[in-house]
Chains A and B, each alone.
Chain A
Amino acid sequence: MKVEINDSKIYKVNRRDFLKATSISMSGLMLGISFSCTNTSKKLAGNPDFTFSPNLFISIHGNGDVSLVAHRSEMGTGIRTSLPLVMADEMEADWNRVKVVQATGDEKYGDQNTDGSYSVRMFFTPLRKAGATVRLLLEQAAAKEWGVDASECKAQNHEVVHSSGKTLGFGYLAEKAAALPVPDESSITLKSPKDFKYITKQSSIVDLKDIVTGKAKFGFDSNHLPNTKIAVVKRNPEPGAGLTSFQAEKAMAVPGVIKVFTLNAPGFPTTLNKPLGGVVVVAENTWAALEGRKALDVSWSKGANADYDSHSYNNGMLQRAKTKGKVRRENGQVDKALAGAKKVIEVDYMVPLLSHAPMETPCALAHVHDNVCEVWAPVQDPQGTRKALAEALGVDVKAVTVNVTLLGGAFGRKSKPDFVVEAALASKTMGSPVKILWTREDDIQHDFYHFPAAQHLKVGIDANNKVTSWLHRSVFPPIGGTSNAAEKEASGAELSMGMIDLPFAIDNVCCETHEAPAKTRIGWLRSVANIHHMYAVGCTLDEVAHARGVDPIQNVLELLGSDRNIDFGPITSEYWNYGEKPEDFPWSTARFRNVIETVKDKSGWGKSLPKGSGQGFAAHRSFLTYVACVVEVTVDANNKIRIPKVDYVVDCGIPVNPERIKSQFEGGAAFAASLALKSEITVTTGAVQQSNFHNYQVARMSDAPYETAVHIIESNEKPTGVGEPPIPPLIPALCNAIFAATGKRVRQLPVRLA
């Protein structure tokens, strides 16, 4: 989650860089010769040693190849493909001639924190402008070459074509374009959507073949530096707490183990950046490191959270949730309206600690030498990683290079660079490259967990069957508490994810919180506080519908009221619009209504189903994307829950890469099914009780939806992200479907029907 999102600086950066266009890389003789490609006389290529880099993101080589920089991290969303496609489309490059180059962490690229589902939202227009600028330069270069007016020249498919039919290739024009002055932004014309070749069209990800052949390089696969040592760390089960003593002899006796040393524990709160400390075992190979660690004798100190027991902690949150809390949004008089209600729904919802468990555990290769540091790591936030490394090593950020590998899943875990800092500190100690690997046990027991949350809701319905009051109390330890012990209560941004952004036209609304100090590392997990808020709100709405005797979809549409852009300003001062101005990305009840009405239609809502089956509905706007969802479940005699069908309707503005939007929703449904049906972290005496996939379970094929239909609304609105929005509505829709199938309400996750 990123609370402060600045307007993109990318175009300005480009402008500045355009002025540096003289620093074009050149080598060899500048003969300006043109290559005739194969058996055509077209001038396609130019000086093969020449590279025209009109901005940070785009380079055209003399041989006609185009390099496009991917500055966001690829963790499975397809962003390494989608944003380069946007540039290629605008500059009329042939995608087959494009090579994608992964950026290192550097602020010159603007924001690189691949988080919060905002990569497309933030960079769609700036990168279109970057591409369109290059297109114009190439057209101007061709016009000059031919001695014609630029208006007679049009770039298309890697060539510039004159109205007479003659053509010049991008490679040939690269050097000519480099000699031209940078066009003013006002002279750039973006393509009309009807002319898009790649944007909104189907495409495959650039790494597809490498992935299926095993050639793709993830962080775990970095093995290119000679003399690299492998390290694992034994950490105190209680995060942040320190070490009393250790015996290295047995570990050192394992063949291949080279060195055993300690890293300081940070105390608690740990911060998001600092390693947990512990005992580092460095070896010549992975197995020796693991066997060496197993042989260590370690005695740990108790820290501030040695008595943390998640069961009693969660119960404590629930008890507080039942009492009057700190008011975060208040409209009308909830207490009075509830007192006068004919029916009152009063419900509690519990969500446990949850772990990210990306398939690739945290890992990093670092080489610290001569006061410089270079790392290869699967990180979502390469600039944040760079800063954390510089701070930990006491060097300038310019001495740190962060190479971003492919990420084998992340879901928020790899926004935090603690594991990369571990690798750098180990490399510094060893004086050689060191690769830190986390085992699955390390990952599950030392994560930055999704908040445990207790919620209490009370909804009043009057004699006219109208919903008159909505009280929602949410208690969970804020992410800020992981860095600052004084932060004990949810932030406005966290509450704007599914609680205080309640869009319904209900006269009396009150949202309250209580303190809940962090007792372990809390971090953001795919869709963050929307997970628990939407679970509670979506299920409560279903209970309200049944209490009113109204169809659940009809119920939500009625509560939504008239079409309007909701102005949250007067409603609550704490509303956060995912870092965007409400005028740029308003909360549109019309768009929300549209996805809901569409899902009703597409899903066959209300169709007759056999006994033990049911449909459930929920809808939510998160990360500025509107999603409605209908889930169909079957529950057999053994309480095995299956999901034969999910229907999603998504309005994410212009669907930049529809194929990857669909895959995000298919996968998001399975991810959400894990959270709803399978996963739970518990803690006793400060230590996480789960350790691997046998006791921290996630969805396997039989748990995931059999079919997920994704219906994308055609739109010309500004594009918004899709990485996180699939998660929140699926969980309540699934629980509501379980109710429809069994008559049992699910008020605690994960679902336990027996």
Chain B
Amino acid sequence: MATFQLNVNGELHKVEAAPNTPLLWVLRDNLSLTGTKYGCGMAQCGACTVHLDGTAVRSCSTPVSSVENKKVTTIEGISSGEELHPVQQAWIAENVPQCGYCQTGQIMSAVSLLSKNPAPNDSEIEAGMSGNICRCGTYERIRKAIKRASNTSAK
């Protein structure tokens, strides 16, 4: 076990964990941030997506020892106070979720995509979201929500 200092959603936390512990389990078990989900444990499904310094990564395959001195952002950290992030608002406007389990990871991927490409076309959305599986099959609405958020941000 070792002690790590993490910057999660702008707050500093000291956590005790084995160095190879995936960030996912530190977020969930140590910090009770359960919005980040387990889906596969091998970076295949994207349910665990968080941002490291603003870029989407799969927290299930990111050792906690590698994230010190980096800013970790989870789904709990993307809205400012009561006002939801424009991507979250777009998700609500398009009624995207069905079961909802994968959607936090989808949103984190979408936020990262839009931060790098504010107006993605269909194939760019497909490429940017290809690492996220939704077993309920909400892909069409995810695409629509990303376009909606893109348009909102552009205005």
Within 8 Å of chain B (Cβ to Cβ): is A75?
yes
Within 8 Å of chain A (Cβ to Cβ): is B11?
no
Task: Tell me whether A702 and B38 are in contact (CB under 8 A).
Answer: no
B33, B99, B136, B140 interface centre (most CB from chain A within 10 Å)? B99
Query: What is the chain B residue whose CB lies nearest that of A288?
Result: B18
Within 8 Å of chain A (Cβ to Cβ): is B53?
no
Within 8 Å of chain B (Cβ to Cβ): is A64?
no
Binding stretch for chain B, among A201-209, A388-396, A541-549: A201-209
Indicate with 1 or 0, residue by residue over B79-91, a CB within 8 angstroms of chain A CB atoms: 1000010001001
Task: Tell me whether B38 and A220 are in contact (CB under 8 A).
Answer: yes
Task: Tell me whether A670 and B139 are in contact (CB under 8 A).
Answer: yes
Indicate with 1 or 0, residue by residue over A660-673, a CB within 8 angstroms of chain B CB atoms: 00011011111101
Within 8 Å of chain B (Cβ to Cβ): is A286?
yes
State in angstroms the CA–CA spacing of A671 and B25 once bound together: 29
Indicate with 1 or 0, residue by residue over B102-142, a CB within 8 angstroms of chain A CB atoms: 11100100000000000000100110011011111111111
Task: Decide yes or no: A409 and B136 within 8 Å by CB, A75-B99, A213-B84, A359-B37 being known contacts.
Answer: yes
| A693 contacts across to B, CB distance below 8 A | 40, 42, 44-45, 133
Task: Tell me whether B92 and A204 are in contact (CB under 8 A).
Answer: yes
Query: What is the chain A residue whose CB lies nearest that of B145?
Result: A212
B residues contacting the other copy or chain, number (CB 8 A): 60
Task: Tell me whether B100 and A701 are in contact (CB under 8 A).
Answer: no
The one of B79, B92, B101 in contact with A359, judged by C-beta atoms closer than 8 angstroms, is B101
Residues of chain B in range 10-36 having any CB-CB distance to chain A below 8 Å: 17-18, 20-22, 25, 28-30, 32-36
Within 8 Å of chain A (Cβ to Cβ): is B1?
yes
The secondary-structure label for the interface of chain A is loop
Within 8 Å of chain B (Cβ to Cβ): is A255?
yes
Query: What is the chain B residue whose CB lies nearest that of A664?
Result: B98
Output the least CB separation between B93 and chain A (Å): 9
Task: Tell me whether B41 and A440 are in contact (CB under 8 A).
Answer: yes
Task: Tell me whether A671 and B141 are in contact (CB under 8 A).
Answer: no
| B25 contacts across to A, CB distance below 8 A | 285-287
Task: Tell me whether B98 and A78 are in contact (CB under 8 A).
Answer: yes
Task: Tell me whether B22 and A287 are in contact (CB under 8 A).
Answer: yes
The secondary-structure label for the interface of chain B is loop
State in angstroms the CA–CA spacing of A216 and B139 once bound together: 20
Task: Tell me whether B135 and A706 are in contact (CB under 8 A).
Answer: no
Task: Decide yes or no: A207 and B100 within 8 Å by CB, A76-B136, A287-B21 being known contacts.
Answer: yes
| B22 contacts across to A, CB distance below 8 A | 287
Query: What is the chain A residue whose CB lies nearest that of B95?
Result: A204
Query: What is the chain A residue whose CB lies nearest that of B129?
Result: A701
Residues of chain A in range 623-651 having any CB-CB distance to chain B below 8 Å: none
The one of B47, B92, B103, B141 in contact with A666, judged by C-beta atoms closer than 8 angstroms, is B141
Within 8 Å of chain A (Cβ to Cβ): is B76?
yes
| A157 contacts across to B, CB distance below 8 A | none
Within 8 Å of chain B (Cβ to Cβ): is A592?
no
Query: What is the chain B residue whose CB lies nearest that of A204?
Result: B95
**A–B pairs, 15, beta carbons within 8 Å:** A76-B100, A208-B92, A208-B97, A209-B92, A213-B76, A285-B30, A359-B101, A359-B133, A359-B134, A409-B135, A440-B39, A663-B141, A666-B140, A670-B134, A700-B139
Q: Which of B's residues lie within 8 Å of A, judged by CB? A: 1, 17-18, 20-22, 25, 28-30, 32-42, 44-45, 47, 74-76, 79, 84, 88, 91-92, 95-104, 107, 122, 125-126, 129-130, 132-143
